[in-house]
C-alpha cells in the first residue's frame, strides 16, 4: 500500500465541508487608519471573554500576522485573491477555520484598493466578497465634523454587496462621539459600534517596511492588554460579535481549481492540484529536513508556505543566523526568508562560523531558497544606509546596498527561463518590497507586473537554488514547494 504524504489526511478531512464560522473583516478607507490596532484589541478582548478566535491578514503583509499571533498564540494566515484566485482563497480560509470560533480578518490598505491600486482583485473588499465576510469599517476621522457623513456615505454607495455592517470611529473624543453617533445611524442607517480615543496605547511605530515587530515593543503583552481594556469600554463587543454572526455558512465544495491556462496560454495551478499531487504523486517523501532561518533578522514567512512544505513531507527545523554557530544537524535544504538583516548586519557579519557553514552548504549543492533579506545575506557584502560595509555569507558574488528609495514594490508573476523549481511554462505569484538593491539581481526568472504588463529579469535560479528579491506565495503554484522538498530529499 502506498504511504501517504503528511498532510494528505488534512485535505481529505476538509474537502467539501461546510463551515459555520462567525467572521468579521476589519477594513478601512486608507492605510494608517488603525486596522491593526483595532484587530489586535478585538482579538485580545475576545480572548478575555473566553471566545476562541482565529486571525487572517488580507494581502502579502508579514508583520500584521506577527501581531495577531502575539495576541492569540497561534499563527495567523494570509489570504489574497491575487495569489490564489477566488475559489482557492475560500478553500484556504476553510482549511484554517474552526467551527465555533470567531474569525477576524484584517484588511489591507484602503477597502477597495487592489492590484495597482485600481483593480478589485487583491483588495480587502474582494476578499470579503468571496468569503461572504461582513465588514467593520475603521475610519480615522480626527479633525472632521459633520463631513464624516458624506465621507462614509461614499463608501456605503460603492459597497454594492452591502457588506459594510458597522463602523468604528478612530481618534475622536467621547463627547464628540456621543454627538456624531446618532447622526450617522439616523442619516446613513449604519450602526456605529464605538470609537477609539486618541491615546498613546493605540499607537504602533513604523519603519521603512511597515510596523515595527511585536517583540520590539517594550512590554508588548501589557500594551495589548491596555488596548483591549480601553477597547471594551469604548467599543461594543456585543455589536461587533453580532456583525460576525451575520456571516452565512461557507463551503469549500468544489472550490479547488484544476490547472488552467491564462490569456497567454501559460499554465498555472492551484490548491486542487496540490491535493491531486498528494493523492497521486508516486512515492512518498521521507521527511527531508529543511533548515529555516528564523530570528530577529529573518522573520518574514507566510504560514501557508511553511505548511505546504510540511504537507509535501518536509520536516522544518528552525535556526538563527544571528545566534547559532552551525546549521541544524542533518539538514538537506536551506530556506532563508525576508526580514531586516540590514538592522543586524554587524552581528551577522561577526558570526563567521554561520557564514562559513552557509557558504559550505551552498558549495556542496544543498538546495537553497532565499528571498529578499535572505538574498541580501547570501551576498559577499552588505552596505547599510550609513555607508558601513559588512561581510556576508559569500554565496552570491556581488554587493548589496541601501538605495535610499523604494526599488520595487507590488505584485509579480514569475516564470523560470529553465524549469528548475517550476514545470516549464508555469508561473508562481509573489510580491516585492525592498529599498536595497544588488550589483547582480540574477536573470533566471522573467517577472511580469500584472497591471502594467511590464517585464524584467530577476532571481538567480539553478538546479538547486532560487535566490532573489521577490517573496513567493507557494500555494499560488504548489509545484514550487513540491520540487523544493524533492530536491532536499534527493540531496546527499
Q: Where in the sequence numbering do the catalytic residues fall?
A: 372
The DSSP string of 100-160 is: T-EEEEE--SSTT--GGGT-STTSHHHHHHHHT--EEEEEE-TT-STTHHHHHHHHHHH-T
Residue 256 phi, psi (nearest 5): -80, 145
- 12 phi/psi in degrees, rounded to 5: -65, -35
Report whether 414 contacts 459 (CB < 8 A): yes
The residues that bridge with 412 in the sheet, in sequence order, are 430
Q: At what angle do helices 124-131 and 81-96 cross, to 10 degrees?
A: 40
36 CB-contact burial (10 Å; exposed 0-12 / middle 13-18 / buried 19+): buried
Cα–Cα–Cα angle for 28, 29, 30, rounded to 5 degrees: 90
- Quote the cell numbers at residue 41: 484589541
Q: Which three cell numbers stand for residue 90?
A: 475560500
The number of helices, as runs of H, and strands, as runs of E, in the chain is 15, 30
Q: Which residues pair with 381 in a beta bridge?
A: 391, 399
Burial class of 96 by CB neighbour count within 10 A (0 to 12, 13 to 18, 19+):
buried
CB contact at 8 A, 475 and 304:
yes
Smallest CA-to-CA distance from 291 within 349, 374, 214, 372 is with: 374
Q: From its phi and psi, is residue 305 left (phi > 0), alpha (psi between -120 and 50) or beta?
A: alpha
Map residue 443 onto helix, strand or coil: coil
Per-residue cell: 405: 528609495
Closest C-alpha to 171, from 189, 194, 191, 152? 194
Burial (Cβ within 10 Å: 0-12, 13-18, ≥19) of residue 51: middle
* Grid coordinates of 352: 563567521
Q: Residue 441: CB partners within 8 Å, gap ≥ 6? A: 457, 458, 459, 468, 469
Grid cell 490547472 is found at 259
Furthest-apart CA pair in the chain: how many Å?
Answer: 71
Q: Is 365 helix (H, G, I), strand (E, B) or coil?
A: coil
Q: What does the block give as the cell for 71? A: 495576541
Q: Which residues, in sequence order, are CB contacts of 326 under 8 Å at separation 6+? A: 353, 354, 357
Amino acid at each position: 500500500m502506498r504511504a501517504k504524504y503528511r498532510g494528505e489526511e488534512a485535505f481529505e478531512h476538509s474537502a467539501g465541508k461546510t463551515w459555520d464560522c462567525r467572521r468579521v473583516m476589519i477594513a478601512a478607507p486608507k492605510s494608517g487608519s488603525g486596522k491593526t490596532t483595532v484587530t489586535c484589541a478585538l482579538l485580545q478582548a475576545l480572548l478575555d471573554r473566553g471566545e476562541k478566535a482565529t486571525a487572517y491578514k488580507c494581502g502579502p503583509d508579514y508583520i500584521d500576522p506577527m501581531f495577531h499571533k502575539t495576541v492569540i498564540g497561534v499563527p495567523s494566515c494570509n489570504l489574497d485573491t491575487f495569489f490564489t484566485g477566488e475559489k482557492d482563497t475560500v478553500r484556504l480560509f476553510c482549511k484554517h477555520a474552526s467551527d465555533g470560533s470567531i474569525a477576524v480578518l484584517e484588511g489591507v490598505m484602503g477597502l477597495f484598493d487592489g492590484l495597482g491600486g485600481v483593480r478589485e482583485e487583491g483588495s480587502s473588499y474582494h476578499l470579503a466578497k468571496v468569503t461572504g465576510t461582513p465588514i467593520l469599517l475603521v475610519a480615522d476621522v480626527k479633525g472632521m465634523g459633520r463631513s464624516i457623513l458624506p465621507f462614509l456615505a461614499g463608501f456605503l454607495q460603492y459597497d454594492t454587496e452591502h457588506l459594510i455592517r458597522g463602523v468604528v470611529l478612530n481618534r475622536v473624543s467621547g463627547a464628540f462621539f456621543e454627538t456624531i453617533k446618532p447622526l450617522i445611524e439616523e442619516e446613513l442607517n449604519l450602526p456605529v459600534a464605538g470609537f477609539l480615543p486618541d491615546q498613546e496605547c493605540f499607537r504602533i511605530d513604523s519603519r521603512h517596511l511597515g510596523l515595527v515587530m511585536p517583540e520590539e515593543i517594550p512590554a508588548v503583552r501589557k500594551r495589548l492588554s491596555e488596548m483591549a481594556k480601553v477597547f471594551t469600554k469604548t467599543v461594543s463587543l456585543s455589536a461587533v460579535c453580532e456583525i460576525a454572526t451575520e456571516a452565512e455558512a461557507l463551503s469549500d465544495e468544489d472550490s479547488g481549481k484544476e490547472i488552467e491556462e491564462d490569456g497567454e496560454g501559460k499554465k498555472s495551478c492551484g490548491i486542487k492540484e496540490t491535493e491531486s499531487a498528494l493523492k497521486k504523486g508516486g512515492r512518498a517523501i521521507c521527511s527531508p529536513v529543511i533548515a529555516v532561518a528564523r530570528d530577529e533578522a529573518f522573520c518574514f514567512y507566510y504560514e501557508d508556505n511553511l505548511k505546504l512544505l510540511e504537507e509535501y513531507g518536509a520536516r522544518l527545523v528552525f535556526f538563527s543566523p544571528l545566534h547559532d554557530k552551525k546549521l541544524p544537524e542533518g539538514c538537506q535544504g536551506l530556506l532563508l526568508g525576508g526580514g531586516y538583516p540590514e538592522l543586524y548586519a554587524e552581528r551577522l557579519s561577526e558570526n563567521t562560523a554561520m557564514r562559513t557553514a552557509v557558504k559550505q552548504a551552498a558549495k556542496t549543492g544543498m538546495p537553497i531558497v532565499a528571498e529578499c533579506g535572505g538574498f541580501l545575506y547570501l551576498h559577499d557584502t552588505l552596505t547599510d544606509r550609513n555607508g558601513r560595509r559588512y561581510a556576508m555569507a559569500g554565496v552570491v558574488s556581488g554587493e548589496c546596498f541601501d538605495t535610499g528609495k523604494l526599488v520595487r514594490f507590488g505584485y509579480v508573476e514569475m516564470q523560470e527561463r529553465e524549469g528548475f523549481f517550476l514545470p516549464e511554462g508555469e508561473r508562481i505569484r509573489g510580491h516585492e518590497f525592498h529599498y536595497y538593491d544588488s550589483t547582480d539581481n540574477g536573470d533566471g526568472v522573467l517577472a511580469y507586473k500584472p497591471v502594467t504588463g511590464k517585464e524584467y529579469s530577476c532571481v538567480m535560479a539553478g538546479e538547486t537554488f532560487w535566490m532573489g528579491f521577490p517573496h513567493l506565495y507557494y500555494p499560488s503554484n504548489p509545484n514550487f514547494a513540491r520540487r523544493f522538498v524533492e530536491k532536499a530529499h534527493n540531496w546527499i
